[in-house]
Amino acid sequence: MFADDDRPVKKPVHTVGEDLSLLSEHELEERIALCEAEIVRIKQELTRKKGGRAAADAVFKR
């Protein structure tokens, strides 16, 4: 048998629209941090794609 400390730790996940009423303050703060980190990641990808688009536009507008 596994001791509780040996079990893999589940990463918190968030589903948009999910019922939040049963979560503790700590869990809600974790969700906020998770969502903020995801927003940063999405914005970075958007910036990268816009840069690629601008480079392609520059090549094909000659």
The answer to whether 31 touches 12, Cβ cutoff 8 Å, is yes
Listed in sequence order, the residues at least 6 apart from 27 whose beta carbon sits closer than 8 Å to its beta carbon are 12
Q: State yes or no: pLDDT of 5 exceeds 70.
A: yes
Angstrom distance (rounded) from CA 42 to CA 4? 34
pLDDT digits (tens, 9 = 90+) for 8-61: 777 778 889 999 999 999 999 999 999 999 999 999 999 999 988 878 778 877
Comparing CA positions, the residue from 35, 38, 56 lying closest to residue 46 is 38
pLDDT, residue 7, reads 80
- pTM score over 0.75: no
List, in order, residues 6 or more apart from 34 with CB less than 8 Å away.
12, 13, 14
